[in-house]
């Protein structure tokens, strides 16, 4: 299939939030970016939609490629479309959320140099608009408390 457009188009991405209880704390799965932009910074797992896949398939593929996690149930959470959310070009992200019973075993891969479960109350500065994404999810799923 070939596509040719006279006008520029936005890129479509997916980002994935996995939340899990660990003792009394709530953790989220993050990856450390291997490449620019934001090389070395922590971010949600995610990436670009391929032309031959659905959004849900892209989310599951990216999650497995970057963290080794598969088989977790994901639900669409929200669409983030701020014009300047990615310094490379215009991107729109469909964010998915999952809630495993406990932190799952992870193995970083693809463009993630590391993957780790981090306590929501001790997050570093995150890449892109991922702090905003997590804040909005916490307000919805956990009534702003974590």
Domain ranges for the chain, please list them: 11-141
User: Cβ–Cβ contacts within 10 Å for residue 73, how many?
Assistant: 10
Does the annotation count 114 as an active-site position? yes
CATH ID of 11-141, from 3.90.79.10, 3.40.605.10, 3.40.50.720, 3.40.50.300: 3.90.79.10
Question: d(Cα 135, Cα 81) in Å, to the nearest integer?
Answer: 16
Q: Which of 64, 66, 114, 132 is catalytic?
A: 114
Q: How far apart are CA 72 and CA 60, in angstroms?
A: 8
**What integer pLDDT is reported at residue 7 of this predicted model?**
87
pLDDT, tens digit, 9 for 90 and up, residues 66-125? 999 999 999 999 999 999 999 999 999 999 999 998 899 999 988 899 999 999 999 999
pLDDT of residue 1 exceeding 70: no
- Average of per-residue pLDDT across 39-65: 98
What pLDDT is attached to residue 143?
83
Distance CA 65, CA 142 (A): 28
Q: Which value, in Å, is the radius of gyration of the alpha carbons in the chain?
A: 15
What's the rounded Cα separation, in Å, for the pair 52 and 1?
A: 10
Unique residue bearing structure tokens 């890449």: 127
Query: DSSP strand E in 3-125: where?
Result: 11-22, 25-33, 42-43, 46-48, 75-80, 91-98, 112-119
pTM of the model: 0.93
- Strand partners of residue 28: 19, 118
């Amino acid at each position: 299939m070939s596509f040719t457009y006279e006008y520029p188009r936005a890129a479509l991405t997916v980002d994935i939030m996995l939340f899990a209880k660990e003792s009394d704390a709530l953790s989220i799965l993050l990856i450390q970016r291997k490449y620019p932009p934001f090389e070395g910074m922590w971010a949600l797992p995610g990436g670009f939609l391929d032309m031959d896949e659905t959004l849900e398939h892209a989310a599951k593929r990216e999650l497995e490629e970057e963290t080794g996690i598969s088989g977790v149930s994901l639900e669409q959470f929200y669409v983030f479309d701020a014009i300047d959310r990615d310094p490379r070009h215009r991107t729109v992200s469909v964010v998915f959320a999952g809630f495993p019973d406990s932190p799952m075993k992870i193995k970083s891969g693809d463009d993630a140099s590391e993957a780790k479960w981090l306590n929501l109350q001790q997050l570093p500065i995150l890449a892109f608009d991922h702090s905003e994404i997590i804040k909005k999810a916490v307000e919805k799923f956990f009534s702003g408390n974590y």
